[in-house]
Amino acid sequence: MRTDEYTKDQRDLSVAWKLRTPTLWPAARQPAPWVNHRGDPVGMYDHCLPEEYAAANLLPEGQNAVDLFETLGIPWHCGVDGGPGNNLLSSQVQCVNALMPMVGGPDRIVRAFGNVLDIAEVLQIEPDRYLTFEYIGPTDYFNEGRGAPRVRGAKCTSLDAAFLYRTSTGTTELALIEWKYTESYLSIRKPNPSYDKSREARYGADFHSPDAPLRSALMSLGHMLDEPFYQLMRQQLLAHRLEREHAEGADVVRVLHVRPRENQAYQQSLSRPEHRRLGDSVDAVWARLLKRPDRFIHVDPAVFCDETVTSEEYVDRYSPNGTGRLPWGVSVWRENDRIAAAAYAYADGFEWCHCGPTQDVPVDMGTLSRRHGRENLAVADDEKTMLVGPLAYARAFLRAIVSADLSEPTELTCYSWPDGATDVVAMWPPVDLHGRLR
């Protein structure tokens, strides 16, 4: 697995979410091997879920995607037991987590893409669906199935998602979405003459056609077989054919490329001099090759870090700043691998306890929610009964948590908000909480 700067930042972000989210069981927070496309475990990674918890890679709003993918015959990338893969950095999983609420929510489509498209009305692209996944079109234009039915998302040109809409001028348009996350393609493709020959036979006529969407005189088809240009080319050729054939009743077909601008490793995926001759980034090269730039539109994935577009859980997981809110329940913070602070958040306030001076208390909910390093603490059923009782019980519970790793008596600082009351108490470990986290 790669370790470029952006990928490293996203790993750290995913691991922090893995520890703090209340959507995971404690056992799911453990490091785990990555399960590859053959189903083999590889390595041991903090940003992978244990295989038996891979389904939790989908956020609550995305869970119905398992049934939808099964209905549509879509395989998961490195999937586990018919569901998603266990890598928290999966672009397919991120795409589904973002877009699944839009399958039945056309208003979310408008909020997400209305700033780059003229959307007057979202139309159903499939019965009872306003958005679908792994779109391949109704016709096998490139004989990718070799006479057999194609499988959406496997061994044929697919777009991660698609939706249909009518513009303010009454034109029907089809939007094809390709989703990138931490992908990069920095190594040179190994020659494979027989494979390359079949690719050139499959796409060559469309690539060299006078009305092709790309300027084939600027780069040979052989050099277009390197990623990411191979995928970009195939998807643009498919969009062109779909538009020419008015597939789905569309007069215009556009490719929407969702990719974080911070992923510079993707931009530097120029493996050959022939690529670099046209520009110093993938975007620059692709802009030179496109005949109609309006048929390819970049989408900043930051637009999805909005609860009205996706969900609160999506924002908490993928936004660098999270939601800015603290979920109800118990959270803890560590220092030197021991619990140094704990908080219990409820509807109208929070209780706080830490081992340290009184001036370090979080003075309000905003300060508490912005405190870095938060981890969720699973609460047993009998403890839940105590927490929803008098706040004095919750305060005692937090003191027990913070004092559990102490080796000698010490004073703990306790704080209540919105009361603003501070109390300093002496404490000695009354319970053994080892194994409750990680």
CB 284 within 8 A of CB 205: no
Higher-confidence residue: 238 or 376? 238
Nearest to 314 by CA among 323, 180, 181: 323
| Cα atoms in the Cβ-side hemisphere of radius 13 Å centred on 97 | 29
Determine if the peptide bond prior to 409 is cis (ω within 30°).
no
Residue (of 430, 429, 344, 427) closest to 390 by Cα position: 344
* Residue 28 scores a pLDDT above 60: yes
Instruction: Output the six-digit token pair for 155.
Output: 């061994």
Token couple for 101: 């609420």
Confidence of residue 1 (pLDDT cuts 50, 70, 90): very low
| CA–CA separation, 425 and 72 (whole Å) | 60
Whether the pLDDT of residue 386 is over 70: the answer is: no
- Residue 71 one-letter amino acid: T
- 341-365 pLDDT, tens digit each: 999 888 788 989 888 888 889 988 8
pLDDT digits (tens, 9 = 90+) for 96-126: 999 999 999 999 999 999 999 999 999 999 9
Q: Supply 416's token pair.
A: 């209540």
Strand partners, 351: 344, 416
Task: Report the C-alpha gap between 157 and 142 in whole angstroms.
Answer: 9
Q: What is the pLDDT of residue 313?
A: 93
Q: Are 253 and 247 in contact (CB under 8 A)?
A: yes
Pick the more confident residue, 331 or 404: 331
- Structure tokens given for 355: 């081992």
pLDDT confidence of residue 406: 64
Cross-strand partners of 298:
257
Residue count of the chain, please give it: 438
Residue 392: pLDDT band (50, 70, 90) is confident
| pLDDT per position as a tens digit, 112-167 | 999 999 999 999 999 999 999 999 999 999 999 999 999 999 999 999 999 999 99
Q: At what angle do helices 229-244 and 282-289 cross, to 10 degrees?
A: 30
Query: What is the band of 437 on the pLDDT scale with cuts at 50, 70, 90?
Result: very low
Lowest mean pLDDT among 131-135, 165-169, 330-334, 370-374: 370-374
Residue 233: which of 247, 246, 219, 245 has the closest Cα?
Answer: 219
> How far, in whole angstroms, is CA 222 from its chain's centroid?
32
Displacement of CA 361 from its chain's centroid (Å) = 33
Q: Looking at the predicted structure, is the pLDDT value of residue 369 above 50?
A: yes
Q: Say yes or no to pLDDT of 433 above 70.
A: no
Residue pair 20/331 in contact by the 8 Å Cβ criterion = yes
Cα separation of 400 and 184, whole Å? 47
For residue 241 the two structure tokens come to 């054919």
Whole-number Cα distances in Å, 271 to 122, 221, 268? 39, 15, 8
Per-residue pLDDT, 22? 85
Helices first, then strands: H and E counts in the chain: 13, 14
**3-class SS at 275?**
helix
**Domain-by-domain residue ranges, the chain?**
91-317, 324-427
Q: Three-state SS string across 382-415, please?
A: HHHHHHCCCHHHHHHHHHHHHHCCCCCCEEEEEE
Positions of E strands within 50-183: 121-123, 132-135, 159-166, 172-179
For 209-239, letters b (16+ CB in 10 Å) and e give eeebbbebeebebebbbbbbbbbbbbbbbbb
Q: Are 108 and 163 in contact (CB under 8 A)?
A: no
In sequence order, what are the beta bridge partners of 48?
87
Residue 287, SS3?
helix
Nearest of 100, 30, 28 to residue 63 by alpha carbon: 100
How much is the mean pLDDT over the chain? Answer: 91
Instruction: List Cα–Cα distances, 195 to 37, 146, 201, 220, in angstroms.
Output: 21, 14, 10, 16
**Mean per-residue pLDDT for 213-218?**
98
Dihedral sign from CA coordinates of 75, 142, 238, 91: positive
Report the distance separating Cα 107 and Cα 121, nearest Å. 9
pLDDT band at residue 399 under the 50/70/90 scheme: confident
CA distance 77 to 213: 29
User: What pLDDT, on the 0 to 100 scale, is given for residue 438?
Assistant: 46
